[in-house]
Amino acid sequence: MLSFPCYTVYNYLPKQFRLLWHQTLDEVLRYPELPKECLNFDFYPVFTPLVASQRTLGSNVDTRFERVISDCIVTETWPADDLSMRTGFYYALMRFFTEPLAEGDKLVWFPKDKTDKAFCINVLKLSCGDSTNQSVNPVHSRPKRDYRWLKSEVRMEFRILKLVDTPELVAYLQGV
């Protein structure tokens, strides 16, 4: 008789939220909703080796480049199935994206729903709808004055720069 090993629950962390900490603004932003899709990240950044092929006179030569954590670009997506995200959260993300960091400061991403590790990141792109034409139109019309939800897909792309010492972050968050 075959026996299969028992697997633990995939998401073992009890915390179902993510944080962004902008050190220059000295603000922590908690995600009110988790993104529906997160590319190139699970419990740790997912990056594969880059293989370049070159044709020679006699055959082909493949060169393998080992990649490091700073090669990983993570994309968080809030799709526009019905409603994507809260308008206020989008504008808070936009503020974190547009506000320059002071020298030595970092933007720290802490995905507590996936891991107990935090990462320094550099936001590359934040878009609502089309990346060149932002479609930040709330669901309801102006007379209703209900600006709570966006109806276009929101995507945030960022590069993971390095791992952050988590006790330093936890000590800061407990002081907030």
Q: Spell out the domain ranges in the chain.
A: 19-175
The mean pLDDT value for 151-159 works out to 90
Window from 2-16, 85-99, 155-169 with minimum mean pLDDT: 2-16
pLDDT of residue 57: 87
* pLDDT for res 11: 46
With helix as H, strand as E and coil as C, how does 83-120 read?
A: CCCEHHHHHHHHHHHHCCCCCCCCEEEECCCCCCCEEE
> For residue 21, what pLDDT band results from cuts at 50, 70 and 90?
very high
61 alpha-carbon distance from chain centroid:
36
pTM for the whole structure: 0.75
Asked whether residue 135 carries a pLDDT value surpassing 80, the answer given is no
Is 34 in contact with 18 (CB distance < 8 Å)? yes
| Phi then psi dihedrals of residue 13, to 5 deg | -85, 135
Is 4 a residue whose pLDDT tops 70?
A: no
pLDDT digits (tens, 9 = 90+) for 43-85: 888 888 788 888 888 888 888 888 888 888 999 999 887 667 8
Name the residue among 78, 77, 76, 75 with its Cα closest to residue 150.
Answer: 78
